[in-house]
Amino acid sequence: MDAASLLLGLLLGALLATAVTLGVVALLGRRRPADDGLEPVHESLDHLHRLLAGMERARATAHGELREQMGTVGSTSAQLKNETAALVTALRTPHVRGRWGEVQLRRVVEVAGLLEHCDFVEQPSGTNDEGAGVRPDLVVTLADGRQVVVDAKVPFTGYIEAVQADDRDVRAQRIAMHARQLRAHVDQLSARHYPTAFRPAAPFTVLFVPSDGFLTTALEAEPGLLEYGFARDVVLATPSTLLALLRTVAYSWRQERLARDADQVLEVGRKLHARLSTLSGHLTRLGSALSTTLTRYNETVGSYERSVLTAARRFDDLGVAEAPVPEPQEIEATVRTLRPAEVPGSPETYGAVTPFDVAGRERDGTSG
Protein backbone atom coordinates (compact mmCIF):
# COMPACT_ATOMS: atom_id res chain seq x y z
CA MET A 1 0.00 0.00 0.00
CA ASP A 2 2.97 2.45 0.54
CA ALA A 3 4.15 1.94 -3.05
CA ALA A 4 0.63 2.61 -4.37
CA SER A 5 0.37 5.80 -2.34
CA LEU A 6 3.75 6.98 -3.64
CA LEU A 7 2.71 6.27 -7.23
CA LEU A 8 -0.57 8.11 -6.73
CA GLY A 9 1.27 11.14 -5.34
CA LEU A 10 3.60 11.21 -8.32
CA LEU A 11 0.65 11.09 -10.71
CA LEU A 12 -1.14 13.90 -8.87
CA GLY A 13 2.03 16.02 -8.99
CA ALA A 14 2.36 15.39 -12.72
CA LEU A 15 -1.30 16.33 -13.30
CA LEU A 16 -0.85 19.51 -11.27
CA ALA A 17 2.22 20.46 -13.27
CA THR A 18 0.29 19.79 -16.48
CA ALA A 19 -2.60 21.96 -15.32
CA VAL A 20 -0.23 24.80 -14.51
CA THR A 21 1.44 24.48 -17.91
CA LEU A 22 -1.91 24.48 -19.71
CA GLY A 23 -2.94 27.57 -17.77
CA VAL A 24 0.22 29.38 -18.75
CA VAL A 25 -0.24 28.36 -22.38
CA ALA A 26 -3.90 29.56 -22.37
CA LEU A 27 -2.87 32.90 -20.88
CA LEU A 28 -0.20 33.35 -23.51
CA GLY A 29 -2.72 32.38 -26.20
CA ARG A 30 -5.14 35.09 -25.09
CA ARG A 31 -2.38 37.66 -25.20
CA ARG A 32 -1.11 36.57 -28.66
CA PRO A 33 -3.89 34.67 -30.42
CA ALA A 34 -2.32 34.90 -33.82
CA ASP A 35 1.09 33.76 -32.84
CA ASP A 36 1.93 30.51 -34.68
CA GLY A 37 5.07 29.94 -32.59
CA LEU A 38 3.04 28.09 -29.94
CA GLU A 39 2.44 25.05 -32.17
CA PRO A 40 5.42 23.09 -30.79
CA VAL A 41 4.15 23.77 -27.28
CA HIS A 42 0.76 22.31 -28.20
CA GLU A 43 2.45 19.20 -29.62
CA SER A 44 4.51 18.79 -26.47
CA LEU A 45 1.44 19.12 -24.34
CA ASP A 46 -0.39 16.52 -26.41
CA HIS A 47 2.56 14.14 -26.02
CA LEU A 48 2.61 14.81 -22.29
CA HIS A 49 -1.11 14.15 -22.13
CA ARG A 50 -0.67 10.77 -23.86
CA LEU A 51 2.17 9.88 -21.49
CA LEU A 52 0.04 10.76 -18.49
CA ALA A 53 -2.84 8.70 -19.82
CA GLY A 54 -0.51 5.71 -20.29
CA MET A 55 0.87 6.16 -16.78
CA GLU A 56 -2.63 6.28 -15.39
CA ARG A 57 -3.53 3.03 -17.13
CA ALA A 58 -0.33 1.40 -15.88
CA ARG A 59 -1.05 2.65 -12.36
CA ALA A 60 -4.56 1.23 -12.47
CA THR A 61 -3.24 -2.13 -13.68
CA ALA A 62 -0.49 -2.23 -11.03
CA HIS A 63 -2.95 -1.21 -8.34
CA GLY A 64 -5.26 -4.07 -9.39
CA GLU A 65 -2.43 -6.60 -9.37
CA LEU A 66 -1.23 -5.32 -5.99
CA ARG A 67 -4.72 -5.60 -4.58
CA GLU A 68 -4.98 -9.17 -5.89
CA GLN A 69 -1.63 -10.14 -4.40
CA MET A 70 -2.50 -8.57 -1.07
CA GLY A 71 -5.72 -10.55 -1.08
CA THR A 72 -3.78 -13.76 -1.75
CA VAL A 73 -1.34 -12.96 1.06
CA GLY A 74 -4.23 -12.25 3.39
CA SER A 75 -5.97 -15.54 2.62
CA THR A 76 -2.68 -17.46 2.97
CA SER A 77 -1.99 -15.81 6.31
CA ALA A 78 -5.47 -16.66 7.52
CA GLN A 79 -5.04 -20.29 6.40
CA LEU A 80 -1.62 -20.47 8.08
CA LYS A 81 -3.08 -19.01 11.25
CA ASN A 82 -5.88 -21.60 11.25
CA GLU A 83 -3.46 -24.46 10.64
CA THR A 84 -1.13 -23.20 13.36
CA ALA A 85 -4.03 -22.96 15.78
CA ALA A 86 -5.10 -26.49 14.84
CA LEU A 87 -1.52 -27.74 15.39
CA VAL A 88 -1.29 -26.04 18.76
CA THR A 89 -4.66 -27.48 19.76
CA ALA A 90 -3.52 -30.95 18.66
CA LEU A 91 -0.26 -30.65 20.61
CA ARG A 92 -2.21 -29.83 23.73
CA THR A 93 -3.78 -33.31 23.52
CA PRO A 94 -1.63 -35.79 25.49
CA HIS A 95 -1.80 -38.72 23.05
CA VAL A 96 -1.04 -36.51 20.02
CA ARG A 97 1.87 -34.94 21.88
CA GLY A 98 3.16 -38.37 22.85
CA ARG A 99 2.85 -39.67 19.31
CA TRP A 100 4.80 -36.70 17.97
CA GLY A 101 7.56 -37.39 20.47
CA GLU A 102 7.65 -41.05 19.41
CA VAL A 103 7.95 -40.08 15.73
CA GLN A 104 10.80 -37.69 16.55
CA LEU A 105 12.53 -40.41 18.56
CA ARG A 106 12.15 -42.96 15.74
CA ARG A 107 13.62 -40.49 13.27
CA VAL A 108 16.65 -39.84 15.49
CA VAL A 109 17.22 -43.59 15.90
CA GLU A 110 17.08 -44.16 12.14
CA VAL A 111 19.53 -41.31 11.48
CA ALA A 112 21.89 -42.82 14.08
CA GLY A 113 22.06 -46.01 11.98
CA LEU A 114 20.51 -48.46 14.44
CA LEU A 115 18.43 -51.43 13.24
CA GLU A 116 15.06 -52.34 14.71
CA HIS A 117 14.83 -55.67 16.60
CA CYS A 118 18.64 -55.88 16.42
CA ASP A 119 19.93 -52.73 18.10
CA PHE A 120 16.71 -51.41 19.63
CA VAL A 121 13.11 -52.40 20.42
CA GLU A 122 10.14 -50.02 20.46
CA GLN A 123 7.68 -49.97 23.37
CA PRO A 124 8.65 -53.26 25.07
CA SER A 125 6.75 -54.32 28.17
CA GLY A 126 8.41 -55.15 31.46
CA THR A 127 7.93 -55.40 35.22
CA ASN A 128 10.05 -53.37 37.61
CA ASP A 129 11.32 -54.44 41.02
CA GLU A 130 8.11 -53.23 42.65
CA GLY A 131 5.97 -55.52 40.49
CA ALA A 132 4.48 -52.67 38.42
CA GLY A 133 4.19 -53.00 34.66
CA VAL A 134 6.15 -50.44 32.64
CA ARG A 135 6.35 -49.71 28.92
CA PRO A 136 9.01 -47.26 27.75
CA ASP A 137 9.12 -45.86 24.23
CA LEU A 138 12.47 -47.38 23.31
CA VAL A 139 15.09 -49.78 24.65
CA VAL A 140 18.53 -49.64 23.02
CA THR A 141 20.84 -52.65 23.35
CA LEU A 142 24.53 -51.90 23.87
CA ALA A 143 27.42 -53.98 22.57
CA ASP A 144 28.05 -55.63 25.94
CA GLY A 145 24.42 -56.74 26.24
CA ARG A 146 23.30 -53.93 28.52
CA GLN A 147 20.23 -51.89 27.67
CA VAL A 148 19.40 -48.18 27.78
CA VAL A 149 15.77 -47.14 28.37
CA VAL A 150 14.42 -44.06 26.54
CA ASP A 151 11.11 -42.32 27.26
CA ALA A 152 9.68 -39.61 24.96
CA LYS A 153 6.45 -38.55 26.70
CA VAL A 154 7.35 -34.97 27.66
CA PRO A 155 4.74 -32.33 28.66
CA PHE A 156 5.21 -28.94 27.01
CA THR A 157 1.86 -27.18 27.43
CA GLY A 158 3.59 -24.42 29.37
CA TYR A 159 6.04 -23.92 26.52
CA ILE A 160 3.21 -23.46 23.99
CA GLU A 161 1.48 -20.93 26.23
CA ALA A 162 4.78 -19.10 26.73
CA VAL A 163 5.28 -18.80 22.97
CA GLN A 164 1.76 -17.46 22.50
CA ALA A 165 2.01 -14.95 25.35
CA ASP A 166 2.48 -11.28 24.37
CA ASP A 167 3.11 -9.94 27.85
CA ARG A 168 6.62 -10.44 29.21
CA ASP A 169 5.46 -11.27 32.73
CA VAL A 170 2.96 -13.83 31.47
CA ARG A 171 5.63 -15.39 29.31
CA ALA A 172 7.97 -15.68 32.30
CA GLN A 173 5.21 -17.37 34.31
CA ARG A 174 4.50 -19.86 31.52
CA ILE A 175 8.20 -20.66 31.17
CA ALA A 176 8.42 -21.32 34.91
CA MET A 177 5.37 -23.57 34.62
CA HIS A 178 7.03 -25.44 31.74
CA ALA A 179 10.13 -26.00 33.86
CA ARG A 180 8.00 -27.30 36.73
CA GLN A 181 6.18 -29.68 34.38
CA LEU A 182 9.46 -31.04 33.07
CA ARG A 183 10.80 -31.43 36.60
CA ALA A 184 7.65 -33.29 37.67
CA HIS A 185 8.06 -35.63 34.69
CA VAL A 186 11.63 -36.34 35.80
CA ASP A 187 10.23 -37.40 39.18
CA GLN A 188 7.67 -39.65 37.47
CA LEU A 189 10.34 -41.42 35.39
CA SER A 190 12.54 -41.87 38.44
CA ALA A 191 9.62 -43.47 40.31
CA ARG A 192 8.99 -46.02 37.52
CA HIS A 193 12.41 -47.71 37.99
CA TYR A 194 12.78 -48.57 34.32
CA PRO A 195 16.31 -50.08 34.63
CA THR A 196 15.07 -52.77 37.04
CA ALA A 197 12.55 -53.99 34.44
CA PHE A 198 15.13 -54.55 31.67
CA ARG A 199 18.15 -56.26 33.18
CA PRO A 200 20.95 -55.96 32.47
CA ALA A 201 20.37 -52.24 31.92
CA ALA A 202 22.26 -49.01 32.40
CA PRO A 203 21.47 -47.43 35.81
CA PHE A 204 19.71 -44.43 34.27
CA THR A 205 16.76 -43.51 32.05
CA VAL A 206 16.98 -41.15 29.07
CA LEU A 207 14.22 -38.53 28.96
CA PHE A 208 13.93 -37.56 25.29
CA VAL A 209 12.86 -33.93 24.74
CA PRO A 210 11.60 -33.67 21.11
CA SER A 211 12.99 -30.16 20.56
CA ASP A 212 16.12 -28.36 21.73
CA GLY A 213 14.00 -25.26 22.36
CA PHE A 214 11.89 -27.08 24.95
CA LEU A 215 14.92 -27.86 27.12
CA THR A 216 16.63 -24.50 26.53
CA THR A 217 13.49 -22.62 27.58
CA ALA A 218 13.11 -24.75 30.71
CA LEU A 219 16.77 -24.15 31.64
CA GLU A 220 16.14 -20.41 31.45
CA ALA A 221 13.74 -20.69 34.38
CA GLU A 222 15.56 -23.53 36.21
CA PRO A 223 19.29 -23.78 35.35
CA GLY A 224 19.80 -26.75 37.69
CA LEU A 225 17.28 -28.97 35.92
CA LEU A 226 19.95 -31.20 34.35
CA GLU A 227 21.65 -31.78 37.70
CA TYR A 228 18.26 -32.47 39.25
CA GLY A 229 17.70 -35.22 36.68
CA PHE A 230 21.20 -36.68 37.12
CA ALA A 231 20.61 -36.97 40.87
CA ARG A 232 17.53 -39.11 40.10
CA ASP A 233 19.19 -41.24 37.39
CA VAL A 234 17.33 -39.42 34.59
CA VAL A 235 19.30 -37.95 31.67
CA LEU A 236 17.54 -35.21 29.69
CA ALA A 237 18.45 -35.51 26.00
CA THR A 238 17.43 -33.40 23.01
CA PRO A 239 17.56 -34.72 19.41
CA SER A 240 21.14 -33.49 18.99
CA THR A 241 22.48 -35.01 22.22
CA LEU A 242 20.52 -38.24 21.79
CA LEU A 243 21.80 -38.55 18.24
CA ALA A 244 25.36 -38.29 19.53
CA LEU A 245 24.61 -40.93 22.18
CA LEU A 246 23.02 -43.33 19.70
CA ARG A 247 25.81 -42.84 17.17
CA THR A 248 28.24 -43.82 19.90
CA VAL A 249 26.17 -46.93 20.54
CA ALA A 250 26.10 -47.75 16.82
CA TYR A 251 29.88 -47.28 16.65
CA SER A 252 30.37 -49.62 19.60
CA TRP A 253 28.19 -52.19 17.83
CA ARG A 254 30.34 -51.96 14.70
CA GLN A 255 33.53 -52.30 16.72
CA GLU A 256 32.07 -55.31 18.52
CA ARG A 257 31.22 -56.96 15.19
CA LEU A 258 34.71 -56.25 13.86
CA ALA A 259 36.29 -57.68 17.00
CA ARG A 260 34.06 -60.76 16.77
CA ASP A 261 35.02 -61.26 13.11
CA ALA A 262 38.69 -60.84 13.99
CA ASP A 263 38.37 -63.54 16.65
CA GLN A 264 36.78 -65.85 14.11
CA VAL A 265 39.58 -65.17 11.61
CA LEU A 266 42.15 -65.88 14.33
CA GLU A 267 40.42 -69.16 15.22
CA VAL A 268 40.29 -70.23 11.57
CA GLY A 269 43.98 -69.36 11.23
CA ARG A 270 44.84 -71.48 14.23
CA LYS A 271 42.94 -74.46 12.83
CA LEU A 272 44.59 -74.01 9.43
CA HIS A 273 48.02 -73.85 11.01
CA ALA A 274 47.37 -77.05 12.95
CA ARG A 275 46.19 -78.82 9.80
CA LEU A 276 49.24 -77.60 7.86
CA SER A 277 51.45 -79.01 10.59
CA THR A 278 49.70 -82.37 10.31
CA LEU A 279 50.00 -82.32 6.51
CA SER A 280 53.69 -81.45 6.74
CA GLY A 281 54.22 -84.48 8.97
CA HIS A 282 52.45 -86.70 6.45
CA LEU A 283 54.54 -85.30 3.60
CA THR A 284 57.73 -85.89 5.57
CA ARG A 285 56.83 -89.51 6.22
CA LEU A 286 55.74 -89.97 2.60
CA GLY A 287 59.09 -88.60 1.39
CA SER A 288 60.94 -90.99 3.66
CA ALA A 289 58.85 -93.88 2.35
CA LEU A 290 59.52 -92.85 -1.26
CA SER A 291 63.26 -92.66 -0.63
CA THR A 292 63.24 -96.12 0.94
CA THR A 293 61.13 -97.46 -1.95
CA LEU A 294 63.58 -96.09 -4.55
CA THR A 295 66.51 -97.65 -2.71
CA ARG A 296 64.77 -101.03 -2.48
CA TYR A 297 63.81 -100.83 -6.15
CA ASN A 298 67.36 -100.18 -7.30
CA GLU A 299 68.66 -102.99 -5.07
CA THR A 300 66.06 -105.34 -6.53
CA VAL A 301 66.97 -104.30 -10.09
CA GLY A 302 70.68 -104.94 -9.36
CA SER A 303 69.96 -108.38 -7.90
CA TYR A 304 67.65 -109.21 -10.81
CA GLU A 305 70.30 -108.20 -13.32
CA ARG A 306 73.03 -110.20 -11.61
CA SER A 307 71.08 -113.36 -10.76
CA VAL A 308 68.26 -113.69 -13.31
CA LEU A 309 69.12 -111.78 -16.47
CA THR A 310 72.46 -113.59 -16.79
CA ALA A 311 70.66 -116.96 -17.23
CA ALA A 312 67.97 -115.34 -19.42
CA ARG A 313 70.61 -114.03 -21.84
CA ARG A 314 71.81 -117.64 -22.37
CA PHE A 315 68.39 -118.43 -23.91
CA ASP A 316 68.87 -115.48 -26.24
CA ASP A 317 72.32 -116.72 -27.20
CA LEU A 318 70.99 -120.24 -27.92
CA GLY A 319 68.15 -118.83 -30.01
CA VAL A 320 65.47 -120.47 -27.93
CA ALA A 321 63.62 -117.28 -26.91
CA GLU A 322 61.44 -115.51 -29.44
CA ALA A 323 62.28 -112.06 -28.06
CA PRO A 324 64.91 -110.81 -25.67
CA VAL A 325 63.89 -110.22 -22.06
CA PRO A 326 63.48 -106.46 -21.40
CA GLU A 327 65.97 -105.10 -18.95
CA PRO A 328 64.58 -102.75 -16.24
CA GLN A 329 66.60 -99.61 -15.62
CA GLU A 330 67.55 -98.14 -12.32
CA ILE A 331 65.79 -94.92 -11.27
CA GLU A 332 68.07 -92.13 -10.21
CA ALA A 333 66.01 -89.65 -8.18
CA THR A 334 66.18 -87.78 -4.91
CA VAL A 335 63.30 -87.01 -2.60
CA ARG A 336 63.00 -83.27 -1.86
CA THR A 337 63.04 -82.59 1.86
CA LEU A 338 61.02 -79.88 3.61
CA ARG A 339 63.08 -76.80 4.34
CA PRO A 340 62.07 -73.75 6.38
CA ALA A 341 61.77 -70.41 4.59
CA GLU A 342 64.43 -67.88 5.46
CA VAL A 343 62.18 -64.82 5.03
CA PRO A 344 58.49 -64.94 6.06
CA GLY A 345 56.23 -64.21 3.12
CA SER A 346 58.94 -64.94 0.50
CA PRO A 347 58.16 -67.17 -2.50
CA GLU A 348 60.18 -69.97 -0.89
CA THR A 349 57.63 -70.10 1.89
CA TYR A 350 54.92 -71.14 -0.55
CA GLY A 351 55.42 -74.14 -2.80
CA ALA A 352 58.33 -75.52 -0.75
CA VAL A 353 56.27 -78.51 0.33
CA THR A 354 56.06 -81.12 -2.49
CA PRO A 355 55.98 -84.92 -2.23
CA PHE A 356 59.14 -85.50 -4.20
CA ASP A 357 61.30 -83.98 -6.92
CA VAL A 358 63.47 -85.55 -9.63
CA ALA A 359 66.16 -82.87 -9.32
CA GLY A 360 64.32 -80.86 -12.00
CA ARG A 361 65.87 -82.84 -14.84
CA GLU A 362 64.85 -85.83 -16.97
CA ARG A 363 66.79 -88.93 -16.34
CA ASP A 364 66.84 -91.96 -18.57
CA GLY A 365 64.10 -90.59 -20.79
CA THR A 366 61.63 -90.13 -17.90
CA SER A 367 60.76 -87.30 -15.55
CA GLY A 368 60.84 -89.48 -12.46
- Round to whole Å and give the CA distance between 38 and 44: 10
The residues near 235 (Cβ < 8 Å, ≥ 6 apart) are 204, 205, 206, 207, 229
**Amino acid 3: pLDDT:** 60
Four-residue CA torsion sign, 315, 321, 324, 328: negative
**pLDDT per residue as tens digits for the range 60-105:** 888 888 888 888 887 777 777 666 665 555 555 555 555 666 777 7
* H runs (alpha helix) in 225-238: 225-231
CA 135 vs. chain centroid, Å, equals 28
SS3 3: helix
Secondary structure letter of residue 325 according to DSSP: P
Confirm if 223 and 175 have CB atoms less than 8 A apart. no
The residues near 178 (Cβ < 8 Å, ≥ 6 apart) are 156, 157, 158, 159, 162, 214, 217, 218, 221
Residue 249 or 26, more confident: 249
Residue 162 pLDDT exceeds 50: yes
- Round to whole Å and give the CA distance between 181 and 296: 99
Strands (E), 69-144: 120-122, 126-127, 133-134, 138-141
- Round to whole Å and give the CA distance between 194 and 133: 10
* pTM of the entire predicted model: 0.47
Amino acid (1-letter code) at residue 61: T
